[in-house]
């Protein structure tokens, strides 16, 4: 089994857990396509997944979470559903892939809960940390790519996409808190995070991503 540069405490999961985070329209999906090409070119065995979701059951929870509706969804309900979906995703997809030595590339993970449900909704970060430990044990991403950009720029990019989901319908100040939440999290764990200025052109964002991947992911 090749060593991809795994740095988490848990030796049971020798793969490499790479998460991509950022606000609406930051370029996560675009960057994940680029990363997946980068990995294929280097014959790195990987799976691509996303949150909330990533398994059929967790995707059903995603639909519940994102569907707009008349009933106000309580913040705590939203948080617990996020972690319920995550528990399923971890047990049935992430852990088996990491145990097999694969790289797991996920569009969002727990940092999104800290940013959206914590900083955005105002739920206690202590409660979030408790859930994180409960659901994940020792499992943490080996590297998190944070695509950071001003909220207006991201919203303008995302606005071309038609109907907004329930969370996307929040106001600008919510997304400003989300951005601050992500940056605070990166500040707390600088060894795990790589922040890329996502307001740059796609080409320059990709140059920056290739540089951090080259540095962080062992590719033979």
**Contact 178/114 with Cβ under 8 angstroms?**
no
Taking CB under 6 A as the criterion, the residue among 4, 18, 26, 47 binding ligand ATP is 26
Q: Please, what is the minimum distance in Å from the beta carbon of residue 82 to ligand ATP?
A: 15
Taking CB under 6 A as the criterion, the residue among 22, 53, 118, 141 binding ligand ATP is 22
Mention every residue, 6+ apart, whose C-beta is less than 8 A from residue 139: 8, 10, 13, 17, 90, 94, 95, 98
Angle between the 172-188 and 151-158 helix axes, to the nearest 10 degrees? 120
37 binds Mg ion (CB under 5 A): no
48 binds ligand ATP (CB under 6 A): no
Mention every residue, 6+ apart, whose C-beta is less than 8 A from residue 218: 2, 3, 4, 5
**Window of 19-27, 66-74, 80-88, 118-126 that interacts with ligand ATP by CB under 6 A:** 19-27
**Window of 94-102, 112-120, 181-189, 193-201 that interacts with ligand ATP by CB under 6 A:** 193-201
* H/E element, 149: none
210 binds ligand ATP (CB under 6 A): no
Q: Please, what is the minimum distance in Å from the beta carbon of residue 165 to ligand ATP?
A: 9
28 binds Mg ion (CB under 5 A): yes
62 binds Mg ion (CB under 5 A): no
**Contact 128/185 with Cβ under 8 angstroms?**
no
Count of residues that interact with ligand ATP, criterion CB under 6 A: 16
Backbone angles phi, psi at 146, to 5 degrees: -105, 115
Q: Please, what is the minimum distance in Å from the beta carbon of residue 27 to Mg ion?
A: 8
Q: Please, what is the minimum distance in Å from the beta carbon of residue 27 to ligand ATP?
A: 3
Query: Going along 40-83, which residue ranges are E strands?
Result: 46-50
**Contact 49/102 with Cβ under 8 angstroms?**
no
Q: Tell me which residue of 115, 145, 111 sits closest to 16, measured CA to CA.
A: 145
CA distance 78 to 204: 35
Q: Please, what is the minimum distance in Å from the beta carbon of residue 171 to ligand ATP?
A: 16
Name residues contacting ligand ATP, limited to 61-120 (CB under 6 A): none
C-alpha distance from residue 112 to each of 20, 42, 67 (Å):
10, 29, 18
Name residues contacting ligand ATP, limited to 139-178 (CB under 6 A): 157-158, 160
**Window of 1-9, 27-35, 60-68, 73-81 that interacts with ligand ATP by CB under 6 A:** 27-35
Residues that bind ligand ATP (CB under 6 A): 22, 24-30, 157-158, 160, 198, 200-202, 205
């Amino acid at each position: 089994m090749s060593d991809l540069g795994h740095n988490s405490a848990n030796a049971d999961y020798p793969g490499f857990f790479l998460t991509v985070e950022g606000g609406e329209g930051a370029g996560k999906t675009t960057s994940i396509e680029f990363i997946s090409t980068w990995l294929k070119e280097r014959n790195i065995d990987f799976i691509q997944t996303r949150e909330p979701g990533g398994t059929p059951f967790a995707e059903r929870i995603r639909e519940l979470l994102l569907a707009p509706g008349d009933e106000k969804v309580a913040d705590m309900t939203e948080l617990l559903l996020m972690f319920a979906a995550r528990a399923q995703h971890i047990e049935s997809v992430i852990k088996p892939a990491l145990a097999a030595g694969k790289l797991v590339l996920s569009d969002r993970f727990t940092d999104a809960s800290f940013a959206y449900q914590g900083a955005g909704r105002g739920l206690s970060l202590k409660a979030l940390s408790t859930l994180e430990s409960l659901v994940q044990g020792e499992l943490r991403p080996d590297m998190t790519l944070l695509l950071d950009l001003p909220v207006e720029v991201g919203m303008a990019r995302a606005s071309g996409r038609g109907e907004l989901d329930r969370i996307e319908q929040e106001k600008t100040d919510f997304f400003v808190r989300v951005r601050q939440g992500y940056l605070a999290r990166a500040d707390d764990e600088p060894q795990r995070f790589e922040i890329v200025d996502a307001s740059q052109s796609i080409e320059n964002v990709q140059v920056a991503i290739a540089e951090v991947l080259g540095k962080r992911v062992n590719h033979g």
